[in-house]
Amino acid sequence: MKNLTSKRKKLYEGKAKIVYEGPEPGTVIQYFKDDATAFNAQKKAVLSGKGVLNNRISSHLMARLETIGIPTHFLRSMNMREQLVREVDIVPLEVVVRNIAAGSLCKRLGLTEGTILPKPLVEFYYKNDELGDPMVSEDHIITFGWADPYEMEEIIGMAWRINDYLNGLFSAIGLKLVDFKMEFGRIWGEYGDVYILLSDEISPDTCRLWDAKTDKKLDKDRFRQDLGDVVEGYQEVAKRLGLIPEGLIGEGGNINEDVAAQLEEIENDLAKERQLKSVKKTPLSKPRKG
């Protein structure tokens, strides 16, 4: 596959994405790789087609969230593996919302997988690979200055609204949103005012999604637990979201690149045209709200 961003300056390479310099100040390009890791990168694989699917799914979900007034970093889809997003200063937290018990919650508290929680549960993890992303409380976050109390209020409020919206969206297509992880970023307005945006990605890499009837897992747990057909699970999610037109997936699950190339147009139609004028580069000094 051709390298779509070979001429651009690489700013950062993560486990599943690469961030390149964007075409305008205050923007960056997110490139979605096919690489998959789990358990803090102890387990690795290349899952052909995953990057394309996650790019599509995340663009779509971010654009839908914008329509209900959730500010996101998403600006527009560029091609099958890349999206233009606002450059943010990432809040070093993984914000997890859980509706049904699974994963580390079951391990930590001995719950049975699939137990419906009495109410959605919001958890925070400190983003630090060396420490294995430890779970932290709001008090840790404020004490160590990873986010201030105003920002936490905003982040928690947004997490609830996003969970409500995504629950409805997925249940309408026969999927259960078991849990998901979000990252948030800051941008600064003209007067040093801080805005919090939903950032990173929302995809089967970052959500647990089960078929509503059978509880079949259609997310990254297929990879974590060696269940097989990982990309097929992601494709099923994309298909139910209406993101896979006829002919996109050929024999053996290969993506037809010609069909894929036309897809970004659909997403950009959905995404509102957003003013890039107001986007400013993050200042070196970091003024705080209030």
Under the rule (CB under 6 A), what is the footprint of ligand AIR?
Answer: 94, 96, 102-105, 179-181, 205-208, 220
In the block, tokens 């606002």 appear at 86
Output the smallest distance, CB 16 to ligand AIR, in A.
9
Between residues 102 and 244, which has the closer beta carbon with respect to ligand AIR? 102
Contact by Cβ (8 Å): 27, 75: yes
186, interface contact from ligand ASP, ligand AIR, none, CB < 5-8 Å by kind: none
Between residues 188 and 210, which has the closer beta carbon with respect to ligand AIR? 210
Distance in angstroms (rounded) separating the CA atoms of residues 146 and 141: 5
Q: CB neighbours (10 Å) of residue 17?
A: 23
HSE of 67 in the Cβ direction (CA atoms, 13 Å)? 13
Of the listed pieces 31-39, 51-59, 120-128, 207-215, which binds ligand ASP according to CB under 6 A?
31-39
HSE of 85 in the Cβ direction (CA atoms, 13 Å)? 33
Output the smallest distance, CB 23 to ligand AIR, in A.
29
187, interface contact from ligand AIR, ligand ASP, none, CB < 5-8 Å by kind: none
46 binds ligand ASP (CB under 6 A): no
Between residues 93 and 194, which has the closer beta carbon with respect to ligand AIR? 93
Output the smallest distance, CB 248 to ligand ASP, in A.
25
Contact by Cβ (8 Å): 200, 93: no
37 binds ligand ASP (CB under 6 A): yes
127 binds ligand ASP (CB under 6 A): no
Using CB under 6 A, pick the residue from 4, 5, 33, 38 that binds ligand ASP: 38
Distance in angstroms (rounded) separating the CA atoms of residues 94 and 125: 5
181, interface contact from ligand AIR, ligand ASP, none, CB < 5-8 Å by kind: ligand AIR
Greatest C-alpha distance within the chain = 57
Q: Name, in order, each residue with C-beta under 8 angstroms of 285's C-beta and a sequence gap of 6 or more.
A: none
Contact by Cβ (8 Å): 32, 238: no
